[in-house]
Amino acid sequence: MSVLDVIRSRREITSFINKKIPNELLGEIVDAAYYAPSGNNLLSREFVVIEDREKLDHLEKTTPFMKWMSSAQAAIVITGRPDVSKYWLQDASIACAFIWLTAADLGVGVGFGAVYHSEDAEESRVRETHVREALNIPADRRVVAVLGLGFPAENPKEKKMLDRDETVFYGGFGEV
């Protein structure tokens, strides 16, 4: 598929079949993270790959919005280093996108578990600590997201989009 075809067809998958992801596919998905760009090439993001069932079940409880992790066959935890780059959040985020698109291209579904957020420092701390302690993630790393992976057990319904002219402007904001 072309990159644009992958982008157009990619969806979030929240239910997975009980089939291990072959190492070769998982390796390609990890490559997508490894080669993702970062601001000033300051490589402020790191990745922790998990396949152990007990750890996946622990990750499922990171937030109330990751129930799909109970059927995921693997997870990739994306961490960021504010000490390395002021763009750590963008660096981690674009790596998430690269992972997601590569997985979709390979027929592997992804559930996105947001962990860090900027609205409530205490809630973010609790969520991050849940992941950090289980996986020995150092205190200076921020836990941005946990992506759950597996072969899809669902075909998501069409989603609602804003009209293009409410989202894309040409020449200035609000100009269509």
- Residues at the contact surface with ligand FMN, assessed by CB under 6 A: 11-12, 14, 63, 65-66, 111-114, 156, 159
Q: How far is the CB of 13 from ligand FMN (least distance, A)?
A: 8
Q: 40 is written with which tokens?
A: 């000033």
Q: 125 is written with which tokens?
A: 């701390």
Least Cα distance to 50 among 171, 175, 148, 157 occurs for: 148
Q: Which is nearer to ligand FMN, 84 or 111 (CB)?
A: 111
Q: How far is the CB of 160 from ligand FMN (least distance, A)?
A: 9
Q: Which is nearer to ligand FMN, 41 or 88 (CB)?
A: 88
Q: Which is nearer to ligand FMN, 122 or 175 (CB)?
A: 122
Q: How far is the CB of 146 from ligand FMN (least distance, A)?
A: 9
Given a contact cutoff of 8 angstroms between Cβ atoms, the answer to whether 2 and 55 are in contact is: no
74-80 and 142-150 strand pairing: antiparallel
Given a contact cutoff of 8 angstroms between Cβ atoms, the answer to whether 115 and 62 are in contact is: yes
Given a contact cutoff of 8 angstroms between Cβ atoms, the answer to whether 104 and 12 are in contact is: no
Q: How far is the CB of 163 from ligand FMN (least distance, A)?
A: 17
Q: Which is nearer to ligand FMN, 13 or 84 (CB)?
A: 13
